[in-house]
Every structure is written in structure tokens, then in C-alpha cells.
Structure 1
Amino acid sequence: MSREERYHEELETRIEKHGVKLKKLFSKANKSIVQEITDLYARFAESGEELVSLIYNAARLDLIMTSIKTILHTLRMEEEQQLRITWAEEYKLSLFHHLYFLEQDAQVEVRLPQINTGMVIAALERPWKGRHFSKRIRMRTDLLAAAMEDVITQGATQGWGVTRTAKEITKRTSESWSSAQRLARTELNRAAAQGQTMAYQANSDIVSEKEFCATLDKRTSSECRKLDGKRYPLDYDTADNPGREGERIPNHPNCRSYWRPVLKSKVLEKLERQRAYRIDQERGYTSARTFKEWADKKGLAA
């Protein structure tokens, strides 16, 4: 297994951890919404009025939906904030790890690119599939609000009790969490791919191209399988050279593809000759058994 493959296995673990955090956010929002529904049923029970009258009173329906939308707005903001933080962390983690991989493979000191918050934000803000991830989150929470209004209306007209209505609300929330997890997986793979690209571009003296690598198994999509092994310029899928739809990483939701560097053969031959004369230390190669050891020697906060 290559270092890049192992990195993406570890990325999947980080994605799952992010999903656990997401689930807590969605569970908290669902609990608040179910409480709103419970209170609604209690108010109608006290008044002796039929719940079905709710759908014939726009003001009442708007009132409960305003409360639900407020809860979902908070959920959306918290989800986006968490994803932004995790995206930036993954970008830098990928950048540093793939610099380490390059140095260990070529056994020559790599160039460490200067990065700042603005650069990371610029990479994060670039749209995928024509939309920024914050817009995709907003669209999903809007759909969730509409689905919950449908549940409340259906529950009122069909005479559901509070237990049945709460169960249906929880089902819709769970479906939205699954969608949020899928979005996170896609975005964090994009962060890793952008970090790889930055590492390769900074070392164009030893890297000639980057190669598309699909994770080949029964779940591999047909489009990624066709692209496996195809090579691209180092600046491909950046602001200067935008990627083509259907040929990007990620290539689709839940995509598990990644880049692999193509090292320049003439450079490697030259390095081998230099090592034969025992001058590799002059080139600054940092021998390290682990990424952490390498990062410590480089003075990187990894």
C-alpha cells in the first residue's frame, strides 16, 4: 500500500469522527424540534381544539414553522462553522503529509510553500459542481424545513399522535444528517486533494505531473475507474487552471479518489549519481521514520 493510499484510509477515519460531531448537532436540533411539536400538541389538547385546525390557520402554522426554521438556522450555522474548521485542518494536514511523502520518496529536501489563512480560505471558497458548500448546506436545511412542515400538516389531517409525528420528524432529521455526512466526506476529500496539489506545485523541480488514482473496489464509480492512471499538469484544478467537470477530485459525492505524484526521472537519476558521491546531506534530505519526526525537524506545527 502506498503512502497516499494509507493517508486516505486515515482521512476516512477523520471523516467518520467529523460525522460523530455532526450527529451531535443534528440530535440537539431534533430534540428541540420534537419539543416544539410536543408543546404544540399539548396546547391543542388543553384548548380542546382539533389539531387539524392548525392547517387552516396560516398564522398558527407560520408561528410553529418560524420556531423550527430558527432551530434549523442555528444548525446550519454550526454545521458550516465545523466544516470550515475541519476543512482548513485537512488542507494543511494533507499539504504537510504529502511534502513528507515527496521527501522520503525522492530523498531530497522539498520546498515548503508559504501558506496563510487567506490562501486556505481562497481554496475553500472555490465552488464544486457550481456551488459553494455553504449554499449546499442552506439548500438542504431549507428542504428539511419543508419536509417538517409536510409532516406537521400530514399529522394534523390524518390524526397522528405526538409520538408518530415526533418519529416522522426524527426520520427526516436522520436523512438530512446522512446528507450532511456525505457533503462532509466530499468536501474533506477536496481539501486533501487541494493540499496535495499545493505540495506538488511547490516542488515542480522534482514532480512533473500528478496522476489520478481511483480507489479500486466494488464501490468504485465508472467515471473514476475510467480516469485511473490519467495524468494532469500540476496546476490542474486550481484557480489558474480550473478542473473539468467529471475529471476532478472529488469527482462526485462520496468520491474516494486521490492524486499521486509523478517524479521526474532525470532528476532522480541525477540524485542517484550525487548520492553515489555521498553529498546527499548537502541537499538537506531529512531522514525520518515517521511524519511527526519529520515535522518536528522541519519546525512545523502539525
Structure 2
Amino acid sequence: MSREERYQEELEARIAKHGMRLKKLFGKANTSIVKEITDLYARYNESGQDLVSLIYNASRLDQIMDSIRTILYSLRDEEEQQLRIVWGEEYKRSVYHHLYFLEQDFEIGVALPQVNFPMILAAIEKPWEGRHFSKRIRLRTDLLAASMEDVITQAAVQGWGVTRAAKEITLRTSESWSNALRLARTELNRAAAQGQSTAYQANSDIIGEKEFCATLDKRTSSQCRKADGKRYPLDYDTPENPGREGERIPNHPNCRSYWRPVIKSAVLDRLQRERSYRIGKEERGYTSARNYEEWAKAKGIAT
């Protein structure tokens, strides 16, 4: 297994960890919304009013939905904030880890690009699937709010009890969490791929191209399988040179593809000559290290 493949496996573990944090956020929001529904039924029981009349009173329905939207918008803001944080962390991790892989695999010194907040922000805000980062989250929140309103009106018309209504609300929240996790997986894979491109572009004297690598198994999409092994310029699939549909990373929601560097043949020939003449690793700028943490410390990179 290559270092890049191992990185993808570790990325999946980080995505799963983020998914559990998301699940807690959605669970907290769901509890608050179910309480709103339970209180609604309690008011209905106390008033003796027909539930349909109670809910279809325009001002009453607006009041209920305002409360639910407040909960959902708070959830949206927390989700966006957390995803922005882990996106930036993944981007930075990808830049430096893939430079570490390059140096260790070829025993040659690499240039370290400066990774700062404006650079990360510009990468995050790059549109994907025609929408910016924030809009993709906000669209899903609006859809969830509309779904919640449908549940409330259906409960009134069909005479659902509070248990059935709460179950339907929880089902909608769970579906939205699954969609949020899918978005997070897609976004974090995009962060990793953009980090790779940044690392490779900073070392264009060593790397000539980058190769599309699909994670090949029974879940591999047809477009990723077709793109597997194709080579592209270092600036391809970046804000300056956007990738073509079907040949970009991510290619689709839940995409697991990644890049692999293609070392220039002249560099490989030079390295072979230097090794033949016993030119030491340190003279080639190589930093010997047992692991990434040791390498990062030697390079002055904060971990």
C-alpha cells in the first residue's frame, strides 16, 4: 500500500470522527424540535381545540415554524463552523504530509509552501457543483425546515399522535444528518486533493504531472474508474484551472479518489547518478525521519 493510499484510509477515519460530532449536533437539535412538537400537542389537549384547526391557524403555524427554524439555523451555523475548521486542518495536513511522502519516497529535498488563512479560505470557497460552501449547507437546512412543516401539517390532517409525529421528525433529522455526513466526506476529500495540488505546485521543479487515482473496489464510480491513471498538469483542478466534469476530485458526492505525483524523468535520472556517485542524502536536501512528527519538527512545521 502506498503512502497516499494509507493517507486516504486515515482520512476516512477522520471523516467518521467528524460524523460522530455531527450526529451529536443533529441529535441535540432533534431533541429540541421534538420538544416543540410535544408542547404543541400538550396545548392541543389542554384547549380541547381540533388539532387541524390549531395547526392551520396561520399565525400559530408561523409561530411553530419560527421556533423550529431558529433551532435549525443554529444547527446550520454550528455545522458550518465545525466543517470549516476540519476543512482547513485537512488542507494543511494534506499539504505537509504529501510533501513528507515525496521526500521520504525519493530521498530528495522539497520546498515548503506557506499555508496561511487567506489561502485556506480561498480554497474552501471554491464553488463545487455550482454552489459555494455555505450555500450547500444552507440549501439542505431549508429543505429540512420544509420537511418539518410537512410533518406537522400531515400530523394534523391524518390525526397522528405525538409519538408518530415525533418519530417522523426524528426520521427527517436522521436523513439530514446522513446528507450532512456525505457533504463532509466530499468536502474533506476536496480539501485533501487541493492540499496535494498546492504541495505539488510548490515543487514543480521535481514533479512534472499528477496522476488521477481512484480507490478501486465494488463502490468505485464509473467516472472515477474511467479517469484512473490519467495524468494532468499540476495546476489542473484548482481555482486557476478548474477540472472537467468526470475528471476532478471530488468527482461526485462520497468520492474517494486522490492524486499521485509523477516525478520528472530528468529528476529521476539525476537522483540515480547522484546515488551512483555516493552523493549523500543530506546533500540532496533529504531530511531523514522515522515518522511524520519527527520530519515536521526538523522542518519547523507545527503539528
Task: Return the TM-score normalized by structure 2.
Answer: 0.98
* In 2, Cα distance between equivalents of 1:245 and 1:227: 11
Structure 2 stretches lacking a partner, 5+ long: none
Q: Is the 8 A contact 1:98 1:196 kept in 2?
A: yes
DSSP 3-state at the match of 1:261: strand
Structure 2 counterpart of 1:292, one-letter code: E
By how many angstroms is 1:108 displaced? 0.8
After superposition, what is the alpha-carbon deviation per residue over 1:92-123, rounded to whole angstroms, capped at 9, x for unaligned?
Answer: 00111000011012211100011211001001
Aligned to 1:301: 302
Aligned to 1:84: 84
Structure 1 counterpart of 2:102, one-letter code: L
By how many angstroms is 1:256 displaced? 0.5
* In 2, Cα distance between equivalents of 1:33 and 1:263: 55
Is the deviation greater in 275-284 or in 177-186? 275-284
Structure 2 counterpart of 1:208, one-letter code: G
After superposition, what is the alpha-carbon deviation per residue over 1:169-194, rounded to whole angstroms, capped at 9, x for unaligned?
Answer: 00000000000000000000000000
Structure 2 counterpart of 1:287, one-letter code: S
Alignment of 1:122-137 (within 5 A): 122-137=122-137
DSSP 3-state at the match of 1:262: strand
* In 1, Cα distance between equivalents of 2:158 and 2:40: 16
* In 1, Cα distance between equivalents of 2:119 and 2:241: 16
Is the deviation greater in 269-278 or in 69-78? 269-278
* In 2, Cα distance between equivalents of 1:178 and 1:54: 33
DSSP 3-state at the match of 2:181: helix
Structure 2 counterpart of 1:289, one-letter code: R
The yes-or-no answer on 1:104 pairing with 2:104 is yes
* In 1, Cα distance between equivalents of 2:178 and 2:29: 15
Alignment of 1:109-148 (within 5 A): 109-148=109-148
Is the deviation greater in 241-250 or in 17-26? 241-250
By how many angstroms is 1:292 displaced? 1.2
Q: Is the 8 A contact 1:129 1:245 kept in 2?
A: no
Structure 1 stretches lacking a partner, 5+ long: none
Q: Is the 8 A contact 1:207 1:264 kept in 2?
A: yes
Aligned to 1:191: 191
Task: Return the TM-score normalized by structure 1.
Answer: 0.98
* In 2, Cα distance between equivalents of 1:118 and 1:84: 13
After superposition, what is the alpha-carbon deviation per residue over 1:271-291, rounded to whole angstroms, capped at 9, x for unaligned?
Answer: 121123333322221111211
Q: Is the 8 A contact 2:110 2:203 kept in 1?
A: yes
Alignment of 1:4-153 (within 5 A): 4-153=4-153
* In 2, Cα distance between equivalents of 1:143 and 1:238: 30
After superposition, what is the alpha-carbon deviation per residue over 1:45-73, rounded to whole angstroms, capped at 9, x for unaligned?
Answer: 11111111134311100000000000000
Q: Is the 8 A contact 2:52 2:156 kept in 1?
A: yes
Structure 1 stretches of 4+ moved >4 Å: none
Q: Percent identity?
A: 77
Alignment of 1:181-220 (within 5 A): 181-220=181-220
